[in-house]
Amino acid sequence: MNTKAKHVVTTTFGSLIAIALLVPQTAVAEDAKIYHGAMCQAGAGDAIQFFVNGSLNIDPNSGHSVTCPVVRDSVNKGINSASITAVDNSPVEDVECVLSSARADGNAVSSSRRTTSGINTAPQTLQFGTLSAVSGGFYLITCRIPKAQPAGAGGFNYSRILSYRVNEND
């Protein structure tokens, strides 16, 4: 490469760096965590089974609740958004989930409730917006999963929690 070509390449490269430094950069701070639905825990005696496809209610007589853990590592920031993906196989009940924050002593700070909209064998995503929090507190997701529904040949269709996602403010 001749000297003139080297100068053009160096000057062009230097100009690109200078332009990149002058263009305002948008900082996107995201601290998202995605959890498998099988991480949720059933209450004592509840008929919840945990499989590769999430937390299923296998009881044909009654709906049951699960509590889903959320790791909190942005101490004073709160939640920017959250979502829960569920399958609702019940013609009479919806999957109902509550996202909440609480103080260390368990007293509620804030909460938001979402439900699926009718029977749908395809996954439905329940979207949550912001949720405030206090220093030293925790987050909690609780979901009520409808009872198992009879299906052909003596089988059942199960409602379930597939996954959930929490994005803390960073």
Given a cut of 70, whether residue 127 has pLDDT beyond it is yes
CA distance 157 to 163: 18
pLDDT at 42 exceeding the cut of 80: yes
Residue 43: band (very low, low, confident or very high) from pLDDT cuts 50, 70, 90: confident
Among 56-60, 80-84, 118-122, the least confident range: 118-122
Residue 82 clears pLDDT 50, i.e. is over it: yes
What is the chain written as a DSSP string? --HHHHHHHHHHHHHHHHHHHHSPPPP---EEEEEEGGG-EEPTT--EEEETTEEEE--SS--EEEEE-----STTT-EEEEEEEEEE--SS---EEEEEEE-TTS-EEEEEEEE--S-EEEEEEEEE--B---TT-EEEEEEEEPPPEE-GGG-EE--EEEEEEEEE--
Least confident range from 20-24, 25-29, 94-98, 135-139: namely: 20-24
Q: Which of 24-38, 57-71, 84-98 has the lowest mean pLDDT?
A: 24-38
pLDDT at 31 over 80: no
For residue 155, what pLDDT is reported?
A: 80
- pTM of the predicted structure, to 2 decimals: 0.77
* Per-residue model confidence (pLDDT) at position 65: 93
Comparing CA positions, the residue from 102, 101, 66 lying closest to residue 84 is 66
- 89 band by pLDDT with thresholds 50, 70 and 90: very high
